[in-house]
Structure 1
Amino acid sequence: MDLQSRKISFVQEFLSIESEELISRFENLLKNKNTTLKNTELNSMTISDLNRRIDQSEDDSNKGRLTEMEDFLSEIEKWN
């Protein structure tokens, strides 16, 4: 089945759903997926931009402006 056929099939199935909760879950899934896609789009950068980022990272490292892995993982646990 090609993508267009799958979309049509999905929409037909979706239209038959009677559960408000299930519709809300699909809405949230779509919203989260669109946000994730927007956040993960890659933008090209020039060589000079890349070198500037590398220089900044090295400077941060040399001056101790780092986050230890354990601290970072602890912070991530607080996100949920």
Structure 2
Amino acid sequence: MNLEARKIEFVQEFLKLQSEDVISRLEKMLRKEKDNSEQRIFEPMSEAELNKRIDQSEADFKNNRFKSSSELLAKYE
């Protein structure tokens, strides 16, 4: 199913709703998603910022301030 068909189906189901609570929750979710999508517009970092982050990452690694990939995977299993 393409995006346009999904939108139409969603709107049709939305129009059938009778619960004000459900409509309010969907409105909140839509506003939150809209706000998040507006915040996703980002500016690329400068070369200086990239180098600063690299230096910080290397310092963290040297000082044992990191998690291994197996530790991260275990967290989400």
Question: TM (normalized to structure 1)?
Answer: 0.53
RMSD: 3.1
> Shift of the alpha carbon at 1:32?
2.2
**CA offset at residue 28 of structure 1?**
1.9
Task: Establish whether residue 53 from structure 1 lines up as the match of residue 53 from structure 2.
Answer: yes
Matched, 1:20 2:20: yes
Number of residue pairs aligned between Structure 1 and Structure 2: 66
Identity level (%): 34
Structure 2 partner of 1:63:
63
5+ unaligned residues in a row in structure 2: which ranges?
1-6
1:41 equivalenced with 2:72 (yes/no): no
Q: Which runs of 5+ in 1 are unaligned?
A: 1-5
Q: Where in structure 1 do 4 or more consecutive aligned residues deviate above 2 Å? A: 14-19, 38-41, 67-74
In structure 2, the residue matched to 1:3 is none
Query: Whose relative contact order is higher, 1 or 2, with alpha carbons under 8 Å and at least 6 apart?
Result: 2
Structure 1 residue identity aligned to 2:51 = N
Cα deviation 1:1-44 (Å, max 9, x = unaligned): xxxxx8xxx6xxx7886531232122122122024224433222
Alignment CA distance shift 1:68-1:39 (3 Å):
farther
Could you tell me which amino acid in structure 2 is paired with residue 48 of structure 1? A
